[in-house]
Structure 1
Amino acid sequence: MSTTSSRKGFEFGPFRLFPAERLLERDGKPVPIGSRAFDLLTAMAERAGEVVSKSELFARGWPGMIVEESGLRFHVSALRKALEEGKDGARYIANVPGRGYCLVVPATAFGAEVQRPPAAARSDSAIATVSRGLPLGREDTVPDLMCRLGRDRLVTVSGPAGIGKTTVAFAVAAAERDRGAREVRIVDLAGGQDPALVGAAVAASIGISARSEDPTNEILGFLADRPVLLVLDNCEHVLTSVAPLAERLYLEAPSVQVLVTSREPLRVLGEHVVELPPLPVPPRDGRVTADVLLAYPATKLFLDRAAAVGFREEVTDEAAATIAALCRKLDGIALAIELVASRVGMLGLAETAALVDTRLRLLWQGRRTAPPRHQTLAAALDWSHALLSENERRTLRKLSVFAGTFSLSAALAVAGADMEETDAAAALDSLVSRSLVAVRRDDGAMRYRLLDTTRAYAAQKLEASGEAASTARRHAAAVLAILTEERAGTSPEDRAARRARERALLGDVQTALRWSFADLANRDLSIALAAHACSLFIALSLLHECRQWSSAALALAGADELDDRTALALQAALGHALTFIDGNDDAARDALERALLIAEGLADREEQFRLLGRLHMFHRRADEVSRLLPIAVRMQEIGTALGDPAGMAAAHTMLGVSFHLAGDQGAARLHLETALGMAEFERVTPGHFAFHRNPIIALARTLWLQGCPDKAVEAARPLASDDASADVVTRCIGLIWGADVFRWTGDWATFQALAERLDTLAVRHSLRPYQAVALGMRGEALIRSGQARAGTEFLRSALKVLQAHRYELYMAGFGSALAEGLALLGRAEEAIAFVGTVLKATLTRGSGLHLAELYRIRAGLHAALGDAPRAQADFRTAIATARAQGAVGWELRAATGLARLCGHAAALQDALSLFEEGFETSDLGEATEELARLRARTT
């Protein structure tokens, strides 16, 4: 018999809403509510589970009126009070920051047309708990599952605890119910621990009485020709009974669709497994803003749950970055995100983020209405842990020492201490099937990892077992073995693939180092780890970590106690790190020279080559140009003796850089183009940096100096793109030297953009000298734009830092710019004195690159003071110096200045005749105009 209702409305929780009567009842009793609050509630009830925008709510509550947002908040607050939100954990309305409000409980429509079906045909009441609309981040998953069920009929949704398997299954059930094409039955098996009772639970759900101990035949007889969707929820602990039943339903009941949720597959005939992925999170390398959070389901869910518990803070970009990092740390697991977000209202975002790294998050309580296994993260994991064998439990807790992904061999090395290797491998395979260990394929190799929450849970179990110290030692030994293997590898490979593997290893290297150095009993292991890890730190541009661990290892044992190989690795790494972090001080040079002596004693030419490259960089940064050519020649000799094409290409590059900085641009171009033509420079090894990898860095500037501006710009474009696959040192130098070309050709917009990019990169990696270079570049741009006072201050600050770090390479270039800024401020005499100081230092160090330009600038300063003889002398010295160096670019500038001073066109005409391109650049434009003016004056 059916029952009907003559009144229409919506029912949610204990409330019934009658829009036509403008009445809200709770358990049959009227609830006083204001008129506008009633309209707002009605709008949200009509679209329960969806966000109703603020503009829609304004239109509904205040049609035709302009209202402040505070008015909307006031009435929503009154509405929450009327609904007694918060009492006994009740929650009805969520604020979605930046969007609107949402009724977050299911609202069922009722009315005259709605009839209740007889009990025998009624869908399972569990479906009533499903919100209208699709779950966050599963908009494609639900339709896909419905399509799969229609085709395959037996589908298992698998995944780790809390990822949302039940939510998705219930959404599929609700969608199928709404379609009306088949009956829907849901069997929640979470509460039954006895596999023998599975049949009885299924029989009760479909509405038949189980007359036998195993009612499978009765279930099949009843469902044989019925179009039914049977949802078997939470099956992992009763698989021995669910699996045969599901298989028989697939084989003998062709009208039945079976949807299973389980943390591991059934492994039966006909089963199609769908691994439910985590909710998408903002990428680690992208810029996260408040708007971006709403585009990703994980962060959107976090905001929704946080708002529901009273989080009202403004979501700034800083807060957005914190929320994104939290959701990444929680691996996009819906339950973990909900539980952590539930603490934000009470603790605040910053405190919650700090506590997430502690064990407290495993115990944070969720919704009281949630199943017991979902009340806390620990309870969710206890549910899975209880189903494991002893070998599986032992393996899981030992795997918690891995910070990132790990290989099968590493897993067996750590977990196989007290069991057979085959048993450990079998346990790992079982943990994968139970969704406790994630697995992915990288470059054909299987990589494993524990989700962050699972790792924290397993780490507790490891500590309680008393096996933590022995497991940590095995982990450190395994990491050392991997590092040793990595260092020994010589086969060329894709740079991006190598970098990805290095980053994946980083967390475990850091973990192993921290553990081993905390216990002096592990001295030998600690030193060996540090020696091998430093190559990884350098490759990943983690120079502070390189300095920390190399110096710690050297302090742990005197130099006499170390074998030569270990001492070589540590001294070389320390010298390299100190060069970029603490400046070109004596400690950096001493470490590099000690390492070189050891390499010579070992007759290790490859290490000698690498160390000579680092010493070349040290002296280059100190602008000790006279020392560069002998080092480069020695590198060429070693490269030739080794017969290593990559080394020979790198040696040519070092020779080219040496000649370029000394002022011989013809020789520089010859060597740089030779290196570029060899192509082997692209072969990357951990010891190759900057110019070793890319001779174009120096070639671009050389081309401009030789009178090829267009070719120079073409070569500099890739440097401006800032290749993220290169190490940070190479990227910084590429940006600086590439910017020179754009400065010299007059493209100040690109120059400024490169300065900003350099500053960002230097700040991110705490490279203070490169920050100073970026500051100096910004000072140059300010002077060029007419802001001479601010520009000179920037340049003075930059020069002060560079001098403190003994980073003299850019002193001449910035000194030239500072002198021009002082002249614009009317301080020409001070500028002349300053240029004289810079010239003296430049000549002393043998640096010829900026020599002609310094003479030209001083000439212009003399001319500004009316001292034509000195000005003319400096202009002519600049022209002669530039011509001797093959620096046509400098010669043209000096010849233009001389023509303006004296009216002599011959030198200017000679310089212009050397150019075949670049006539759109600023220098050639000015020179051409000046020559035309002089010719017009003589006719």
Structure 2
Amino acid sequence: MATAADQASDRLSFGPFNLVASERLLTKDGVPIGLGARAFDILIVLSTSPNEIISKKDLISRVWPDVTVEEGSLRFHMTSLRKALGDGKDGARYITTLAGRGYCFVAHVSRGSSAPEAPAAVANFPYANLPGRLSRIVGRDDDVQKLSADLTASRFVTIVGAGGVGKTTVAIAVAHHLMEAFAGSVLFVDLGMLIDPKLASTAVASMLGQSIQSDDATPGLIAFLKGRRILLVLDTCEHLVETVAPLAAGIIEAASQVHILATSREALRVEGEHVYRLEPLACPPVGVELTAAAVQQFPATQLFVERAIASGARLDFSDAEAFIIADICRKLDGVTLAIELAARRIESHGLQQTASLLDQRLARLWHGSRTAPARQQTLQATLDWSYGLLSEQERVVLRRLAVFVGHFTLDAALDVVTSAPLDRSIVFGAIESLVAKSMVATRPIGAMMRYRLLDTTRAYALDISLDPADAADLAMRHVSYYRRWLEQTGNEWETLTTGVERAPFFAGLNNVRAALEWCFGENGNVSIGIELTAAAAPVFLAMSLLIESQRWSERGLLALDDSRRGGREEMQLTAGLGVSLMFTRGNSDRVHAALSRSLEIAQDCSDALHSAAMLGMLQLFHLRGGDYRLALRCAEHSSMIASKLDNIRLKTMAHSLLGISRHLAGDLNGARVELEAALESESSSAAGRVAYFGFDHLSLAGASLATTLWLLGYSEQASARALKAVNDAERMSHPISLVIALTAITVLLWTDELDAAEQHLDSFISRAETQYFGPYVDVGRGLQAELAIRRGDVAAGVETLKNCLEKLHAAHYERFAARFSIMLARGYAATGRFMEGINLIEEIIPFVEAKGGIPYTPELLRLKGSILLKMPKPRIKEAETCFKQSLDLSRKHGSRVWELRAATDLAALWADQGRVKDARGLLLPVFEKFTEGVNADLCAAQHLLTRLG
């Protein structure tokens, strides 16, 4: 961005402060003041226009020219700036706020030349040679501030980081920041130019103008530095560590006013050293939908865009381009040099082609700045430099570590990398050394430290050829380790209820994927691949990775030979295939066959646990298909098995599925008992929330209980339960469970909370589309159509609803058939298409009766009666019969809501016939059953009762 610094290059003075905009340096009485980037920009804008009122809008546009921000951000950074200046303390006043108008810098400002006068001490230090600072360093302002403070306090700091991460650039920026504090006495020593370690002290001494008269220049150098206040920058120490370390330690001990800032790929490890690890630039996270504006907030992408434009590229920076740029920066791990090299290619190759070239070795040969040191001319040269510093054992271990994808644990590395020539102690020591040399990155995930090779380092290591036999042996150890890991952690996956808990497991799952690819690849081992796939199938389900579950389950089943059929491997693979297909593509014969086969094998193997689980999945299959009688049988069978087993998760699932079956069979009170029993387990420490065979059954129970409570007449409890189900599932960060919980928003439509329903519907559809949950997308669209009809946009709602019903029928997903038919018939009636509405109801009622009674039947009958009364020639007798049938079924099911609606319509009909007493006697007892909530149904009944007297 064109920062405020571009608008002012002069040196400004106000009070005890000096501001050098071009250096982004603010000092107070010669001491640097730490200030955030945005606060610094605000100061520059205000101080360069003293006594002028600058509106908030104008200030925001100049400080954040390419980003839309709220006034709250301005207020936050303004507070930080005022605190740094001491504004308002001891009578000092720098910035004033004019209500409704903006801000004004009110202190007296003096302007000096763009180059600050050299302090007198500089004349006594003619060796100052600090390279020029970059005009803008992206994403490192906080690092510069922290390093400046650390160096001032501790005197000796080493910036440690991977090659190309920007250690030298940051060190130079820190030295410029502290230039005035050291009165210009700053010496920069580039040790990267040296090959002979013995010349380290000689190089420093010669740059200080010392005469070298012995092989060891250290004593004379230390004698010269004593009593002098100097900042000594020792750049690129990693290849001279053995000599630079004692030299730095000796200077720090003997020369009390000398401060040392070193850069190295590993710490010097001497007394007094403070290590500052410079991390790569932050990149946009994976798996999050980001807009162009959001992507520009990350330092890695900011750097990429700035360097690309500076090289002549034209970027629109649309959301589509932002996605590609974010992906490029992630592939390059936020490494500054790699990002700059890639950005330079945009002008010649374009964005998409550059992204494609990153996957090829060619990208490592791209040239950067001509003025950069040779080791930083290309990414290949940087990696060659790093690799050349390793011992032979470290090189072997690095190459073997490249078998891991992403993060891995120390246990995994020791198991996989260790072999006959390399025992565990050698591997352990080599990994420790590679971490120290910034060739292997570390990061705590959960309670355990994780390790990984940066993608560029891993690609470099993979290019180093291995003997084919050694490569195969390494891959087999990798596969074997992760097969054991899946088997050992199998029971834990279902209990991971938050994204934080899943993070360590996802790291391991990356390696499972790589192992599967090798097993079924050209030179892989299919036999162990089948074992790995069977172990991975339930894990993919637990993590909502349905497409992967389907893909690898199919692959494993195709590879099974006759000798392995009928065992646990086929049982797990058919379960994985059936469940994943059901959620992504809907019901089909293939799904039923897979689930039935898994159940058959479980019964043959006397595996009661898996039998009960598969009966639960078959219950869900029939439930989605609209065959509620079969669903109830499966639920009852599963519940019977679960009651004999000491497994709280299975019992929770059984209560949940039995509850929803009874709900859809019309037994609302029985459903409530089962669903509340399932949800009681949530407070049990032995159970908690688990994703059992693909989803959290408490999410299903919560959504079903919300609907049940509404039908029973408890609208406030229903609304609260619906929102709780959604919020609990949100905290789990589990896609299938969340989509299932979001079906509870149907209650919000019934309770006329239309705005809240619309908000959740958008989330529902977005998640269903992202996760490829096919039928749920159409459910969401259907609910949106219902919302449109309720808001009066009937014509559009009817057409959308018809389309959704057709798609759901095609996917054999009939769970919402009755509900959507009710709304569609209501839409037909509202637009005068009475016979279409009646025909639709008469079609759906026999379907319901054939598959099993459901609690929507009373409403279908009531709606039919109301349509019959609205026809040009009202069919009063038929309508009255429909209302009476609706009342009888409502009372049988326990549905007070449908009972109230039917009683209100029938009472209104009787009142029109002069049967006022009968009408009041019918409606009043039903109305008085309601103890909570205010909604359209209660208002309509109350209005009628008032009219009836």
Shorter-chain TM-score: what band? 0.7 to 0.9
SS at match of 2:450: strand
Instruction: List per-residue Cα deviations over 1:328-349 (Å, max 9, x = no partner).
Output: 2222211111111111122222
Shift in alpha-carbon separation, 1:123–1:143, aligned structure 2, 3 A:
farther
| Matched residue, 1:454 | 457
CA contact (8 A) 2:904 2:944 kept: yes
Aligned pairs (5 A) from 1:19-30: none
Displacement of 1:858: 1.0
Displacement of 1:519: 2.9
CA contact (8 A) 2:699 2:725 kept: no
SS at match of 1:839: helix
| Distance in 1 (alpha carbons) for counterparts of 2:189 and 2:117 | 29
Shift in alpha-carbon separation, 1:393–1:47, aligned structure 2, 3 A:
closer
| Distance in 2 (alpha carbons) for counterparts of 1:176 and 1:769 | 63
Displacement of 1:120: 6.4
Shift in alpha-carbon separation, 1:462–1:706, aligned structure 2, 3 A:
farther
1:728 aligns with 2:735: yes
SS at match of 2:138: coil
1:758 aligns with 2:764: yes
Letter in 1 for 2:815: L
| Distance in 2 (alpha carbons) for counterparts of 1:520 and 1:379 | 32
Instruction: List per-residue Cα deviations over 1:503-534 (Å, max 9, x = no partner).
Output: 21232122111221113751111111211111
Identity %: 37
Shift in alpha-carbon separation, 1:376–1:686, aligned structure 2, 3 A:
farther
| Distance in 2 (alpha carbons) for counterparts of 1:600 and 1:610 | 11
1:880 aligns with 2:888: yes
Displacement of 1:712: 0.6
SS at match of 2:193: coil
Displacement of 1:899: 2.5
1:676 aligns with 2:676: no
Q: Which runs of 5+ in 1 are unaligned?
A: 1-16, 20-42, 61-94, 100-107
Instruction: List per-residue Cα deviations over 1:359-406 (Å, max 9, x = no partner).
Output: 222121111111111111111111110010111111111211211111
Aligned pairs (5 A) from 1:792-871: 792-865=798-871, 866-871=874-879
Letter in 1 for 2:920: A
Instruction: List per-residue Cα deviations over 1:557-608 (Å, max 9, x = no partner).
Output: 2455336110111111111112122321111111111111111111111111
| Distance in 1 (alpha carbons) for counterparts of 2:348 and 2:138 | 24
Displacement of 1:839: 0.6
| Matched residue, 1:7 | none
Letter in 1 for 2:253: L
Instruction: List per-residue Cα deviations over 1:101-158 (Å, max 9, x = no partner).
Output: xxxxxxx967896699878612532x2321356x322212222212212222111110
- Of 882, 890, 898, 2:898 maps to 890
| Distance in 1 (alpha carbons) for counterparts of 2:641 and 2:524 | 41
Displacement of 1:182: 6.2
Shift in alpha-carbon separation, 1:440–1:52, aligned structure 2, 3 A:
closer
Superposition TM-score, scaled by structure 2 size = 0.85
| Distance in 2 (alpha carbons) for counterparts of 1:331 and 1:464 | 29
Shift in alpha-carbon separation, 1:811–1:242, aligned structure 2, 3 A:
same
Q: Which runs of 5+ in 2 are unaligned?
A: 1-8, 12-19, 26-36, 50-63, 69-111, 912-918
Displacement of 1:864: 1.2
Shift in alpha-carbon separation, 1:499–1:559, aligned structure 2, 3 A:
farther
| Distance in 1 (alpha carbons) for counterparts of 2:561 and 2:116 | 90
1:195 aligns with 2:197: yes
Aligned residues between the structures: 849
- Of 636, 639, 642, 1:636 maps to 639
| Matched residue, 1:204 | 206
| Distance in 1 (alpha carbons) for counterparts of 2:733 and 2:397 | 38
- Of 901, 910, 930, 2:944 maps to 930
| Matched residue, 2:550 | 547
| Distance in 2 (alpha carbons) for counterparts of 1:726 and 1:844 | 38
Shift in alpha-carbon separation, 1:207–1:563, aligned structure 2, 3 A:
farther
1:369 aligns with 2:371: yes
CA contact (8 A) 1:640 1:648 kept: yes
CA contact (8 A) 1:398 1:462 kept: no
- Of 430, 433, 437, 1:434 maps to 437
| Matched residue, 1:697 | 703
| Distance in 2 (alpha carbons) for counterparts of 1:170 and 1:111 | 18
CA contact (8 A) 2:577 2:594 kept: yes
Shift in alpha-carbon separation, 1:520–1:323, aligned structure 2, 3 A:
closer
Aligned pairs (5 A) from 1:296-695: 296-417=298-419, 418-462=421-465, 467-487=470-490, 495-519=498-522, 522-558=525-561, 560-562=563-565, 564-679=567-682, 680=684, 682-684=688-690, 686-687=692-693, 689-692=695-698, 695=701
| Matched residue, 1:712 | 718
CA contact (8 A) 2:681 2:688 kept: no
SS at match of 2:644: helix
Shift in alpha-carbon separation, 1:690–1:489, aligned structure 2, 3 A:
closer
Displacement of 1:677: 2.5
| Matched residue, 2:927 | 912
Letter in 2 for 1:551: E
CA contact (8 A) 2:121 2:184 kept: no
Displacement of 1:323: 1.7
CA contact (8 A) 2:182 2:230 kept: no
Displacement of 1:792: 1.4
Instruction: List per-residue Cα deviations over 1:428-476 (Å, max 9, x = no partner).
Output: 1111111111112233222111112111111212469985444333322
1:161 aligns with 2:163: yes
Superposition TM-score, scaled by structure 1 size = 0.86
Instruction: List per-residue Cα deviations over 1:242-277 (Å, max 9, x = no partner).
Output: 011111112211111111100000111111111112
Displacement of 1:695: 2.3
CA contact (8 A) 2:189 2:235 kept: yes
Displacement of 1:901: 2.7
| Matched residue, 2:237 | 235
Instruction: List per-residue Cα deviations over 1:868-896 (Å, max 9, x = no partner).
Output: 11111111111111111001111112222
Displacement of 1:175: 1.5
Instruction: List per-residue Cα deviations over 1:186-230 (Å, max 9, x = no partner).
Output: 111001111011011110222212211111100110111111111
| Distance in 2 (alpha carbons) for counterparts of 1:113 and 1:268 | 37
SS at match of 1:648: helix
Letter in 2 for 1:170: I
Shift in alpha-carbon separation, 1:493–1:794, aligned structure 2, 3 A:
closer
Quote the RMSD (CA, aligned, Å): 2.9
CA contact (8 A) 1:96 1:307 kept: no
CA contact (8 A) 1:288 1:324 kept: no
CA contact (8 A) 1:752 1:777 kept: no
